Structure 1
Amino acid sequence: MGKVYYISKNVGLGLLALAAVALVTILALSIAYDKEKARNRGTSGDGTGDSTSMPPTTSSTPKEPWDRYRLPHSLVPSSYNVTLWPRLTPDENSLYIFTGRSTVEFRCVKETDLIIIHSNKLNLTDFNGQLAKLTSLSEATAPAIQKSWLVPKTEYLVLQLQRTLAVGVMYSLHTEFLGELADDLEGFYRSEYTEDGVKKVVATSQMQAAYARKTFPCFDEPAMKAVFNVSIIHERDMIALSNGREIDAIVDGVPVRTTTFEPTRRMSTYLLAFIVCDFISIQGVKNFSVSLQVRIWARRKAIDDGQGEYALNITGPILQFYERYYNATYPLSKSDQIALPDFNAGAMENWGLITYRETALLYDPVMSSTGNKERVTTVIAHELAHMWFGNLVTVQWWNDLWLNEGFAMYVEYLGADHAEPTWNIKDQIILYDVHKVFGIDALASSHPLTRREDEVNDPAQISEMFNTISYSKGAAVLRMLSEFLSEPVFARGLSSYLNTFAFSNTVYTDLWDHLQKAVENTPGLHIPHTVHDIMNRWTLQMGFPVVTLDTRRGRITQKHFLLDPDSVVDRPSQFNYTWFVPIKWMKTGVEQQQYWLLKDTDTHDEMSVSGEDWVLLNTNVSGFFRVNYDLQNWDRLLSLLNTDHQVIINRAQIIDDAFNLARAKIINTTLALRTTTYLSRERDYIPWESALRNLDYYILMFDRTEVYGATSRKSPTTGPEFLQDTPTSKTFHTRQGTKYNQINAIEIACSTNVEGCRELIKGWYRQWMENPQHNPIHPNLKSTVYCSAIAFGGVEEWDFAWKMFKNATLASEAARLRSAMACTKAPWLLNRYLEYTLDPSKIRKQDATSTIQYIARNVVGMPLAWNFVRAKWSYIFQQYGRGSFSFARLVNGITTRFSTDFELQELKKFKEDNVHVGFGSASLAVEQAIEKTTTNIKWVTANKAGVLTWFTEEST
């Protein structure tokens, strides 16, 4: 609940009077709602009111300032006063609404007779024929507003003034408005859940990237930082949260209260958060540089069940680590983190009030798996990293988004490692980021980390930047930078950068400047070029090189790596796709001094070997590049894998490089497959996972062909000994990697019909069905067991899973069941499940697109999901396509198996047929799907016979 303060009688009466005025004003807005809505029924259907209509220019070349997606540079905001009142019960039209008012103070820095400010899907109150009131904060009188109108396309409120604003003068702009508290997961929105049989409603928010304008009129660009003074009116039995700490809570003479928050620090609009709910919290006060209030908020039952305790326990240590790492004090007085029933992203770094999906914040020590715990740790570490990098210092524009997200993606591993040092989690960046993004950045349709500003304009283009390149490649290249500078030098440069630009905005070159200063101030550190020159080659051109070493002569070369060597790269590069490549390497087991490859071809005599000697490049996978060798060195490395594999410290990279070099026709497929023959002796998780992911590509390409029978018989497991530790065993392994290996082994064993696996899985699941109150399946094995049991079973098993899904009180358990239900082999069940994704009462909107992806992952479900998406594209696009971060993943997910000419033609026709609908934030994903399908067709044609032969011979 909001804090209640004891105040004097006179002060109290004054505050009540002010609150009454505010209440009357907002009630008047509510009364005007029907009239406003009726007046707008004839508009384009986007919900925006237009009191004095002026048609926007329709020319493809913007002729007027309001036709451009970027704000003019004539006005700079300094502060806002925002009051919001969300209604958590529907009105007579069955709509949930919110009303509010906002006053923004801004300075005129360039003479103009226009005020252009973002406003989207808000019904604005009419003030004597205009949509806002303008006041001067100096002795000079503000110019009168001549006309005002809304521009739906660019999402602006435009005010034409009778004369120009005076440069250097401060003004205030007042608006009052009404909006819908919709369930669209954008802006100020509605989340619903059921607790103890009672439906409950939460008003919450997601402003990134361009949704603050759906909540109140604002200068909604990251560089337009300001101080925000927020008040929220809400029911007395609810609590209100925002970025600042609550400083006042007034109960009025009506059944509402007003919670006022301390002014924020200077910040961007996309980091704002507003929440009204009846959640409860657990909290602690941590002693940092200042006393800090740390709270975890969630549904009452989740908190009562202890699901927030783990998050609370690790938040303090992670924040303390970042304070030391950044050498910068945590800049706020509180750190709230809240788990929401409906949230589109995984989490959002709102400054001081971080929002999460429940699966990313809540952990049950009995029911949650090791993977769930690891996810909570890494997501919290990621979001807390943003409190400095992204929030304190923010990129100027979204074309540099990678700097925010790539950095947080990298240091989340450092923060998580500090919180859980026994997990050895820092190595997992190789699997989850480096290997992941290699596959995307090897396409001709990839893009550089930093794009030109004119390539990122409208909200869909901005949302498209939230992709694997920005996150995972950003993390990989920053990790590479930290490796060749050393972590202490990197941290010193970073600290200088953060402290210099605190509360302001930067471009990526500002970071290079400060890292270069750190290099120059470090005696004995030498790099071959400046940080700018080295890193610009990794950020301003797409892709990465394959470095090829001929150990017979010590000749080393680099070339732009493309999965399809025949593809045409039409994006020019000022560096001609040549990189400055830092190479850590080993010679016959001995680490060597780092070598820099600075041109296309070079010779390094020390890399020349003969006899039994061998060379291994990129030893700790710190460099963002692939490695190829002459056949003799490949043979020596493969022989070593089969005799003394632990000598090769980057075994996962050897496997991943070989498989992808084979896909690119650089080495033959048989050589790649040979890298897996030693795995029966491998006990480390990361090499195993690398092999399984690469073999999974073969399954996806061949599981509808005669080749699959041979591949499934050649399982890389070692047999029933992997099943010896049952899920109820008290000796279940404690090492993270061993746990994951066992999960993988059981999954492979069941999918390849290892003796006893099917019966074991079905038996566990049947026990649970017979006693739903007691689940005998170990949390670490639930995902695998649920999926396999439902695949082996029929409607009875599926319906049981659905019942348990609907009754689940732990979000991670519900997520496991939702994924597992897509494993059924019954087409009619899969089709029914697809239809459920259209009904938010069955599948939440936040989960709809990922559920379709799960179904497409099933070989039986793939064509069903593809047909479903094509048939429902208009609806799906309308619901998720304009800005959803997950929308591009939907296109990628349903086309992963595409490998025939027929599927390629269907995909192209799908693109043509829906040009009029659009693809929004999935536009690039559609192009990449076409490119990947084309590559798959070529690979299958070239390798089908050879793969069949190899698996057949190896299986006999």
Structure 2
Amino acid sequence: MHGTGVDSGAVDVTKGRQILPANVVPRHYDLTLEPDFEKLTYDGTVIVDLDVAEASTSISINTLELDIHSTKITSGSQTISSSPDVSYNEELQTTTISFDKELPKGSKAHLEIKFTGQLNDKMAGFYRSTYKNKDGSQGILATTQMEPTDARRAFPCFDEPALKAEFTVTLIADKKLTCLSNMDVASETDLTSGTKRAVKFNKSPPMSTYLLAFIVGELNYIETDKFRLPIRVYAPPHQDIEHGRFSLDLAARTLEFYEKTFDSQYPLPKMDMVAIPDFSSGAMENWGLITYRVVDILFDPKTSGASVKQRVAETVQHELAHQWFGNLVTMDFWDGLWLNEGFATWMSWYSCDKFYPEWKVWEGYVTDTLQHALGLDSLRSSHPVEVPVRRADEVNQIFDAISYSKGSCVIRMVSKYLGEDVFMEGIRQYLKKHSYGNTRTDDLWDALSKASGKEVAEIMRIWTKHVGYPVVTVTENESDKTIHVKQNRLLRTADLKPEEDTTLYPVFLGLRTKDGIDEQILLKEREGVFKVPDLDFFKLNANHTNIYRTSYSPARLEKLGEAARDGLLSVEDRSGMVADAAALAASGYQKTSGVLNLLKGFDSETEFVVWDEILTRLSTIQGTWMFEDQRVRDGLESFQRDLASEKAHRYGWEFKDSDSHLEQRFKAMLFGSAGLPGDKTIVQAARDMFARFSQGDKTAIHPNIRASVFSIVLKYGGSKEYDVILDTYRKSNNSDERNTALRVLGRAKDPELIKRTVALTLSGEVRDQDLYMPIAGLRTHPAGVEAVYNWMTENWDELVRRLPPELNMLDSIVSICTSAFSSREDLARIQKFFEGKNTRGFDQTLAQACDAIRAKTAWLERDRDDVYNWVNSYSAKSIKI
């Protein structure tokens, strides 16, 4: 299917793609690599077995930052060329090998290339990760990250998802080092040098280059026999390998669950999961050899809290879902990334819910996954779920809340429409039909249509092909008990142009009444009228399983508030209603004072997830008003304290083993939400715990509230507290504790401490993978926002050197350093800085940051006085009380 095909219509989705010529097709790679930890390089040989699809006198192959020493082409017993003409195209990242003698169509050929590569420090390709041994010496681990387009950085290859081939990997390394790859070991041979051995792995099934992985280094492991195949967790020697036990046991249960759920055996002979000290994302689903950031696989219940445990569980289950969805069946090109990531995200929630029903993850889905999707997708600079990708440097930018979160929302929406059992049957058929192959989105819709008998593609294609989502405005007609609904695209900047509002989304209205939920009502037109059994109580988008926001009249919102208090709305309904009301105020549909009143009316709410959304939305208002009049900022802060304090005191901040998972998270959230705005009792409690912690009592602060205690003492303290937290970052052996310390340093507002935080980032003490952490903490106050922006502009060349734009970290830095502003002047300053700079690799992220600033600017211009008046009135009432 390489380089051909159109998308069920006349649009050629391959048009403009920078892809390799289709004259040869790879079938098998024999790859040998020998890393040198002294020189930080590696020598390699790759022999690729090719089918010749068209008569050829040249072969183009992807390479990046590799030194090619020799190439040889043979066909049968005949050498076609041993010294061909070799040229490199930097733009396309290809090496073209030209030769005089023609390879005939239908023949087979072997391409042999000897090369040298760098064990780089960019967390891409075949790279080095470093760590401190217990004796203080430096340890080196050679590992890989190929997705999306960095296999070409590791070895010459045909680096496109559709060009699946089998791989036989051999690693040559010191005998004392562990060698791992996707497959199990076939043989180990001692070399004549005496200190080295060659570890050859069994041949893999057909797979895409981005899923290949190999690791060489000192590693310890633990193993389980609770699955029919061996599963291991590996970590470098400085980590406590026993902290991998939770992930190991979960992996055994999850693989067994997925085999049953998908009716498909996991096809590889083993599963290894490895903690990598330097890692650019959270985890990577390499087939049979999953790599993780340390904090996303190692979990110590004594030193990490409930939210960390949940994140580890979701990450492990996400990556294991990929072993089928992504690895066994793979999208044919990167515009289908959502097929991989959307499904794996949905599947991690689905399996987490089955394993840990007490976590109530579908309730959290509304405040987490759905809101991430709706937040990004309300910007003009968002993109469709299926986004045309042309060049290698565009791919990284779509690993975002659209591909992951909106993608999974689309999956959830269709699963609810079809019913979960029918949906899963469609998934089983899809996996069976396309195993070891490549697919497009329409292949999934076809499988679901066959399983359900419903026309899935017609409805769902609009959701994946078009950017954005609608706001559904509801008006009521008392006389005939009907509601009139109208859809328009929602833009956060509140400046929608008619030509941007032409898509009519198929909206599943999900009407909740006292009779239950009607999932089948579909609005396909601009507007429609629907009967409601009783106008006294109704709500659209029951449980918020669908991708839209609902705009009600103020009177209806008030009635829904009463319905919430009367127990007529689910947790998802209540949190989703808060999210919709707040987002619509930010987009100009309602007044911000109305939202603040709505939040105030939730004082009897008892559920963690709803409170999480209430406090998140209040935080968004505070963030937008960050640079406004101090009196308004103080008023909003005291409102937050008033909202959270009574509950925080009632629930307390002692954590018992008998506390449920959600209870622990709720207590932790309330403690921080009341303490940071200055609840005196909690501030004192935080200081007391911190004092004991400073004197060496490492159990003085419970891990659930570690971040809050650190943040509170920094906000209300000074250099003494700062030094203790910085020292914790430098000396702690616990990754979670170190990360927490690093994240909160930026909360200190003293100008000297701000300077120290900024200086720390590029001092060599902070790993490149963690650069975003200290600067994210600085975004919580005006002086910090300014400092972070100045840091970015002053160190721009160094940041580009450390985090090349074609990889996936510079765009996060750009977003963090720019998007917290909220004025036209700051927007102009940002645009001026990037004027004339090459923004390839982060242009979309920059556009989204600028859009976010425009949205906040417009919101302030509309509601500045509204909020000012509300705060004055609230403060006056508070004083009277």
| 1:132-281 equivalences in 2 (<5 Å) | 132-137=71-76, 142=80, 146-196=84-134, 197-254=136-193, 255-281=195-221
Shift of the alpha carbon at 1:228? 0.5
Letter in 2 for 1:929: A
For 1:644 and 1:518, the matched residues in 2 are separated by 37
Choose 112-121 or 702-711, whichever is displaced more: 702-711
Selected match of 2:323 from 363, 378, 387: 387
Shift of the alpha carbon at 1:567? 4.2
Match of 1:510 in 2: 443
For 1:249, what is the secondary structure of its paired residue? strand
Shift of the alpha carbon at 1:836? 2.3
Shift of the alpha carbon at 1:141? 5.8
| RMSD between superposed Cα atoms in Å | 2.1
| 1:590-605 equivalences in 2 (<5 Å) | 590-592=516-518, 594-605=520-531
For 2:204 and 2:382, the matched residues in 1 are separated by 38
For 1:401 and 1:650, the matched residues in 2 are separated by 30
For 2:498 and 2:289, the matched residues in 1 are separated by 43
State percent identity of aligned pairs: 28
Whether contact under 8 Å (2:180, 2:216) holds in the other structure is yes
Shift of the alpha carbon at 1:695? 0.9
| 1:583-662 equivalences in 2 (<5 Å) | 583-588=509-514, 590-592=516-518, 594-606=520-532, 609-610=534-535, 613-642=536-565, 644=567, 650-662=573-585
The structure-2 alpha-carbon separation of the partners of 1:590 and 1:155, relative to structure 1 and needing over 3 Å to count, comes to closer
Match of 2:727 in 1: 803
Selected match of 2:311 from 375, 381, 391: 375
| 1:932-951 equivalences in 2 (<5 Å) | 932-951=852-871
Match of 2:504 in 1: 578
Match of 1:481 in 2: 414
The structure-2 alpha-carbon separation of the partners of 1:391 and 1:75, relative to structure 1 and needing over 3 Å to count, comes to same
Match of 1:44 in 2: none
For 1:908 and 1:822, the matched residues in 2 are separated by 25
Q: TM-score, normalised by structure 2?
A: 0.94
Shift of the alpha carbon at 1:589? 6.5
Whether contact under 8 Å (1:227, 1:267) holds in the other structure is yes
Whether contact under 8 Å (2:85, 2:98) holds in the other structure is yes
Shift of the alpha carbon at 1:649? 5.5
Report whether the alignment pairs 1:120 with 2:53: no
| 1:4-403 equivalences in 2 (<5 Å) | 69-89=18-38, 91=39, 96-125=40-69, 131-137=70-76, 142=80, 146-196=84-134, 197-254=136-193, 255-287=195-227, 291-304=228-241, 306-403=242-339
Match of 1:778 in 2: 702
Whether contact under 8 Å (1:849, 1:890) holds in the other structure is yes
Shift of the alpha carbon at 1:645? 6.7
Whether contact under 8 Å (2:543, 2:570) holds in the other structure is no
Shift of the alpha carbon at 1:868? 0.8
Letter in 2 for 1:805: Y
For 1:721 and 1:657, the matched residues in 2 are separated by 24
Selected match of 2:840 from 891, 911, 920: 920
Shift of the alpha carbon at 1:724? 5.8
Letter in 1 for 2:440: V
For 1:593 and 1:942, the matched residues in 2 are separated by 36
The structure-2 alpha-carbon separation of the partners of 1:800 and 1:782, relative to structure 1 and needing over 3 Å to count, comes to same
Whether contact under 8 Å (1:850, 1:890) holds in the other structure is no
For 2:296, what is the secondary structure of its paired residue? helix
For 1:559, what is the secondary structure of its paired residue? strand
| 1:441-590 equivalences in 2 (<5 Å) | 441-452=377-388, 456-520=389-453, 527=454, 530-552=455-477, 553-568=482-497, 576-588=502-514, 590=516
For 1:580 and 1:686, the matched residues in 2 are separated by 28
The structure-2 alpha-carbon separation of the partners of 1:344 and 1:631, relative to structure 1 and needing over 3 Å to count, comes to same
Letter in 2 for 1:585: L
Shift of the alpha carbon at 1:569? 8.1
The structure-2 alpha-carbon separation of the partners of 1:160 and 1:941, relative to structure 1 and needing over 3 Å to count, comes to same
For 2:180, what is the secondary structure of its paired residue? strand
Letter in 2 for 1:270: Y
Letter in 2 for 1:746: F
For 1:898, what is the secondary structure of its paired residue? coil
Match of 2:10 in 1: none
For 1:721 and 1:856, the matched residues in 2 are separated by 27
For 1:920, what is the secondary structure of its paired residue? coil
Shift of the alpha carbon at 1:458? 2.3
Letter in 2 for 1:796: K
Match of 1:41 in 2: none
Match of 1:5 in 2: none
What runs of 5+ residues in structure 2 fail to find an aligned partner? Answer: 1-15
Selected match of 2:354 from 414, 418, 427: 418
Deviations 1:655-678 (A, max 9, x none): 111111112222222322222123
The structure-2 alpha-carbon separation of the partners of 1:808 and 1:745, relative to structure 1 and needing over 3 Å to count, comes to same
For 1:648 and 1:425, the matched residues in 2 are separated by 11
The structure-2 alpha-carbon separation of the partners of 1:649 and 1:82, relative to structure 1 and needing over 3 Å to count, comes to closer
Report whether the alignment pairs 1:812 with 2:760: no
Deviations 1:237-294 (A, max 9, x none): 111001001121222232111111111111011001110111110002244xxx3110
For 2:262 and 2:657, the matched residues in 1 are separated by 38
Deviations 1:113-135 (A, max 9, x none): 2100011111111xxxxx41001
The structure-2 alpha-carbon separation of the partners of 1:80 and 1:710, relative to structure 1 and needing over 3 Å to count, comes to same
Selected match of 1:885 from 802, 808, 830: 808
Whether contact under 8 Å (1:248, 1:261) holds in the other structure is yes
Letter in 1 for 2:532: E
For 1:343, what is the secondary structure of its paired residue? coil
For 1:858 and 1:279, the matched residues in 2 are separated by 42
Letter in 1 for 2:202: E
The structure-2 alpha-carbon separation of the partners of 1:857 and 1:754, relative to structure 1 and needing over 3 Å to count, comes to closer
Count of aligned pairs between the two proteins: 853
Whether contact under 8 Å (1:787, 1:819) holds in the other structure is no
